[in-house]
Structure 1
Amino acid sequence: MVVAQVLFTIMGICTRLGAQKLPWSEVAAARAVLGAVVAIAVARMRGAPLVIHDRRTAWARSICGTVAMFCTFYTFGAPAIALGDAVTLGATSPIFIAILAPWLLGERSSRIVWVATTIAFAGVALVAGPSFRLSGSLSLVSLLGAVASALAMIWLRRLGTGRSGTPRESPEAIVAHFSLVAGVSLSLVALPTLRMPDLEGALFLLGTGASGAFAQIAMTRAYALDRAARVGVWSYLGVVLTHFAAIVILGEPEKPVGLAGAALVIAAGVGLTWSGLREARATAALVSPPCQTGR
């Protein structure tokens, strides 16, 4: 998960730099198309199937993921909003998952979920508030992307899960389906303003696509190796890394109010993840067999 967050940070930096030379839609299309190529290549290497059984849920996940990608790359490529702020607003997706899960997954939300939600939105207000007159619409687009990402994760959780609770689709099949839908959609949007990149622009396109594709594979692998609650907390490392990289590499100024808001969003996400981990441990303790003596 740490590797994934480093790669996502590289993707954000390459997107911001690439958008200075090329339209944001072209950068996003390159990310999606390369993501599909990498997913199919990895599937062939591992011998993983690329068949989708639950097509309805797969399309719901891919459409929501495509909307999230539209919003993410649109804001990443817009100089009117700081890259760190855009990433912070996008990092509210776990909060939206907690809000939507009771209605879409039938999972009850505890009191700490609503406390974390309040803290997170206070952080959002601090991040977006000082520059809302200049980049208010971009802040709203970032939040829309977070909602779409939350829906995509919810459909991903439901995707192809049978009665035994095991997924029927391979991770590569899910990533390939989403990347192809996003690639076609973003390519159509990019066509009217398509430009031939120079060498530097081509390197930024390659960096965006490759880092994003391998980050997604690393993240998928992380969730396969350990509990989601334990792994998910490391996703907020990406917010910290992006703020630091934006200051050092891009020279973007960071205001104390914005940093305080980012800290609140991270604290809310960590608290929510910690609560989920405690609940998972409590559930495991209830269903585990009692210890036997004399062994």
Structure 2
Amino acid sequence: MVAAQVLFTIMGVCTRLGSQRLPWSEVAAARALLGAVVAIGLARMRGASLVVHDKRLAWARSICGTVAMICTFYTLGAPAIALGDAVTLGATSPIFIAILAPWLLGERSGRIVWVATSLAFVGVALVAGPSFRLSGSLSLVALLGAAASALAMIWLRRLGAGRSGSPRESPEAIVAHFSLVAGVTLSLVALPTLRAPDLEGALFLLGTGASGAFAQIAMTRAYALDRAARVGVWSYLGVVLSHFAAIGILGEREDPTGLAGAALVVAAGVWLTWSGLREARATAALASPSFQCSDEPSCAPKPPCQTGR
């Protein structure tokens, strides 16, 4: 997930620069189509299957992911909203995951999740507030993209876990399916304003597509390995990296209130991560064969129980 966030940051910078020369829809279409090429190529190299077994979930993931991609690239390509702010609003998807996971995945969210969620939404209000009159619609589009992305990640988690007795989908198969659906959709959106890129524009298209494709594969693998809410909070690293990139590479000026809001969003993510790691350690300790199996009140580890197994 950390590797995915570094690559997504590169994608965001290339998208902002590429959108200065080309329509945002063309940049997004290139990202999706190159994503399909990379996923299929990696599958051939690894000998991984590109067959999608659970077509219903795959289509649900791809449709939600396509909506999220449209919203994301629309805001990333818009100069009216700072890159860091656009990424911060988009990075609220783990918060939506934490809210929806109990109903859609059966993964219980405790009190810490809800407190952290409230903290994150205060941060969102601070990020969107200073520029809301100028880019309020963009802020709403970014949040819509975050909600759609959360649904896509939930379906991705269910695809990665697989059903009992059914084969698992490979990360390459999931990414290829999503990329092809998004690529066809965005190509149709881009057709009315299609423009031939110059050399620099073509390099930005390539950078956007390649970094986004490899990031998608890394993220897909991450969601297949652990609980959605716990993995998702690592996407907050992308917020920090994007703000640094906006200042250092793009030369954008950051509003102090917006930075404070971004800090709150990141703090909520770090808190959720810390609580998730504690929960994982506690679960692992209870599952350890050296843990006591008696009904004694003591929680001290004991030698393996003689249960005949």
TM superposition score normalised by structure 2: 0.89
Q: Deviation string for 1:125-152 (max 9, x for gaps)?
A: 0000011000000000110011001000
Answer yes or no: is the 8 Å Cα contact 1:15–1:208 preserved in 2.
Answer: yes
Residue 94 of structure 1 deviates from its aligned partner by 0.6
Answer yes or no: is the 8 Å Cα contact 1:159–1:167 preserved in 2.
Answer: no
CA distance in 2, matches of 1:118, 1:6: 26
Residue 231 of structure 1 deviates from its aligned partner by 5.6
CA distance in 1, matches of 2:49, 2:85: 38
Q: Report whether the alignment pairs 1:239 with 2:247.
A: no
**Per the alignment, in what secondary structure is the counterpart of residue 195 of structure 1?**
coil
**Per the alignment, in what secondary structure is the counterpart of residue 269 of structure 2?**
helix
CA distance in 2, matches of 1:112, 1:182: 35
Answer yes or no: is the 8 Å Cα contact 2:39–2:175 preserved in 1.
Answer: yes
Stretch deviating more after TM superposition (82-91 or 230-239): 230-239
Amino acid across the alignment from 1:271? W
Counterpart of 1:162?
163
Counterpart of 1:203?
203
CA distance in 2, matches of 1:229, 1:26: 32
Answer yes or no: is the 8 Å Cα contact 2:31–2:210 preserved in 1.
Answer: yes
Amino acid across the alignment from 2:63? I
Q: Which runs of 5+ in 2 are unaligned?
A: 292-301, 305-309
Answer yes or no: is the 8 Å Cα contact 2:33–2:179 preserved in 1.
Answer: yes
CA distance in 1, matches of 2:189, 2:230: 38
CA distance in 1, matches of 2:21, 2:273: 39
Residue 226 of structure 1 deviates from its aligned partner by 7.3
Counterpart of 1:88?
88
Answer yes or no: is the 8 Å Cα contact 1:51–1:169 preserved in 2.
Answer: yes
Equivalent residue runs for 1:14-163 within 5 Å: 14-159=14-159, 161-163=162-164
Answer yes or no: is the 8 Å Cα contact 2:101–2:228 preserved in 1.
Answer: no
Equivalent residue runs for 1:174-185 within 5 Å: 174-185=174-185
Q: Deviation string for 1:256-280 (max 9, x for gaps)?
A: 1000000000111111122222222
Counterpart of 1:255?
255
CA distance in 2, matches of 1:113, 1:224: 21
Answer yes or no: is the 8 Å Cα contact 1:229–1:274 preserved in 2.
Answer: no
Amino acid across the alignment from 2:86? A
Amino acid across the alignment from 1:162? R
Counterpart of 1:275?
275
CA spacing shift, 1:228–1:280, aligned 2, 3 Å: farther
Q: Deviation string for 1:146-195 (max 9, x for gaps)?
A: 1001000111111261226x861111100100000000000000001000
Residue 232 of structure 1 deviates from its aligned partner by 4.8
Answer yes or no: is the 8 Å Cα contact 2:153–2:228 preserved in 1.
Answer: no
TM superposition score normalised by structure 1: 0.93
Stretch deviating more after TM superposition (78-87 or 166-175): 166-175
CA distance in 1, matches of 2:226, 2:153: 17
Amino acid across the alignment from 2:106? G
CA distance in 2, matches of 1:95, 1:146: 9
**Per the alignment, in what secondary structure is the counterpart of residue 156 of structure 2?**
helix
Answer yes or no: is the 8 Å Cα contact 2:154–2:228 preserved in 1.
Answer: no
Amino acid across the alignment from 1:192? P
CA distance in 1, matches of 2:122, 2:211: 31
CA spacing shift, 1:4–1:157, aligned 2, 3 Å: closer
Residue 97 of structure 1 deviates from its aligned partner by 0.4
**Per the alignment, in what secondary structure is the counterpart of residue 159 of structure 1?**
helix
Answer yes or no: is the 8 Å Cα contact 2:51–2:169 preserved in 1.
Answer: yes
CA spacing shift, 1:198–1:167, aligned 2, 3 Å: same
Root mean square deviation of aligned Cα: 2.0
Q: Deviation string for 1:26-64 (max 9, x for gaps)?
A: 000000000000000000000000111110010000000
